[in-house]
Structure 1
Amino acid sequence: MTAQEYEQFLFPNLTFCIFAENGSCYMDIHEIINKIYPIPETSMDKLTKHLSKVTYPKGHHILEAGKTETNIFFIEKGIVRAYIPVDGKEVTFWIGKEGSAIVSLKSYVDNQQGYESMELMEESELYLLKRKDLQELFKEDIHIANWGRKFAESEFMQTEERLISLLFTNASERYMKLIQNNPELLQRMPLECLASYLGITPVSLSRIRAKLKRML
């Protein structure tokens, strides 16, 4: 049994994302928005009218370090990673998939150059929301304003959880959490990127996966 098969054995009842007829994974924009914070249909109509659907190829950079990107993107289909170059290596510190929002907080909040690069790992379909449009909607609609507050809170909580995970859990625990919460990333992301995200080397990741296999 391979390590991947063992992981599937460990978590047989996991819910994966929805797949279209062509085999691609996707998440409806209304579901993405309401997952953050449910809003009335009239508010949803206002918000979605300001969304533009865009498609980019694998390898496209939504943001490059040192540049400013104030727009917010929501992933309908695809995978993205955020990374920072360190000593000639690309350190992946965030991975987003269907339902995730792509935002450079430094650019969005302060209109300054971002420190991270964000690369699409698959051909991806995104919804683009301009900062100025969202700010106007906050003024016009209290439900969208509340949605924006919940969105910001969610982003901050994810950052805190990620920091605590890196500081207070070991590599094996972080890997187990990954395959519990996002098992599909094992098939959709290069292992070297996953290893970087977990804060370990590819060799260490291979050892952890092999150890899981031996435990069966």
Structure 2
Amino acid sequence: MKNLQKFMSRFDFLTPTEYEIVSKNLTLKKIPKGEFFLEAGQITKDLGFVEEGCIRSYYYHEGRDITQDFYVENSMIAIMSGIIKGESSPLSYQAIEDTQLYLLRYDNLIEIYKESPKMEKLGRSILEGLLVQAEDRITTFLTKSPEERYILMMENQSELVNKINQNHLASYLGITPVSLSRMKSRIFKKN
């Protein structure tokens, strides 16, 4: 729980009591590389915190697998359509390396909110962060070229870029693996 503790310590309004409240409601799920946290068509009522490892979310379109996002250490996974509306996920969530997730049932979270206003404030802060991340991802995808998106990833998430399969990276950037290879070659020549 080292990373979760560090994550929660960023919120200066929390005390050890709140950390204890959360800790007693968590379950650890170990997911070996290649296994799934959730497959398309399934429903989850769990929120996840990636303690260690990496999860890739993806979907199939016209026979191709398209990467939607990556969840690395200290990331939250919240599949809100399932949690709030009870809908099945259109995405699959697969470990691309051995991963440890701490899971919190949404029903337990609601009880925690009732017990502690500080936890409700934490939930709101985390949700705001997730919304900003989603907005940034959409805006970047709409306003930047694949090359600019790749350069941004190298600047901000180089460890992720080096860890993931190039086919997954290409689909995340919205290009083919061949285009990614050419683009990397072009960038390398410029530098």
Deviation at 1:151, TM superposition (A): 1.4
Q: 2:151 aligns with which of 153, 161, 176?
A: 176
Cα distance, 1:76–1:65 mapped onto 2, change above 3 Å: same
- Percent sequence identity over aligned pairs: 30
Give distance in 2, aligned partners of 1:163 and 1:213.
27
What is the identity, as a one-letter code, of the residue corresponding to 2:147?
Answer: S
Cα distance in 2 for partners of 1:196, 1:205 equals: 9
Aligned to 2:180: 205
Q: Which residue of 1 aligns with 2:15?
A: 40
Please give the alpha-carbon distance, in whole angstroms, between the structure 1 residues aligned to 2:125 and 2:188.
40
Aligned to 1:186: 161
Q: How many residues align?
A: 191
TM-score for both structures, normalised by structure 2:
0.94
- Following the alignment from structure 1 to structure 2, what is the Cα–Cα distance between the partners of residues 114 and 96? 16
1:62 and 2:62 correspond: no
Q: Aligned pair 1:163/2:138, yes or no?
A: yes
Instruction: Write the deviation string for residues 115-136 of structure 1: whole angstroms up to 9, x where unpaired.
Output: 2111110011111111111110
Q: CA RMSD in A?
A: 1.6
Instruction: Output the CA distance in 1 between the equivalents of 2:40 and 2:26.
Output: 25
Q: What residue ranges of structure 2 are gaps of 5+ in the alignment?
A: none
Q: TM-score, normalised to structure 1's length? A: 0.84
Unpaired runs of 5+ in structure 1? 1-25
- Give 1:35 deviation, angstroms: 4.0
Greater strand proportion: 2
1:113 paired residue number: 88
Query: What residue number does 2:63 align with?
Result: 88
In structure 2, C-alpha distance between the alignment counterparts of 1:87 and 1:30, rounded to whole Å: 42
Deviations 1:146-181 (A, max 9, x none): 001111111111111111111110011100110111
Contact 1:192 1:202 in 2 (8 A): yes
From the superposition, tell whether residues 87 and 58 of structure 1 become closer, same or farther in structure 2 (CA, over 3 Å). same
| Structure-2 change in CA distance of 1:169 and 1:38 (3 Å) | farther
**Cα deviations across residues 161-202 of structure 1 (Å, max 9, x unaligned)?**
111111110011100110111101232110000011111111
Q: Could you tell me how far 1:95 is from its partner in structure 2?
A: 0.7
Letter aligned with residue 104 of structure 1 = I
Q: Matched residues in 2 for 1:145 and 1:169: separation?
A: 35
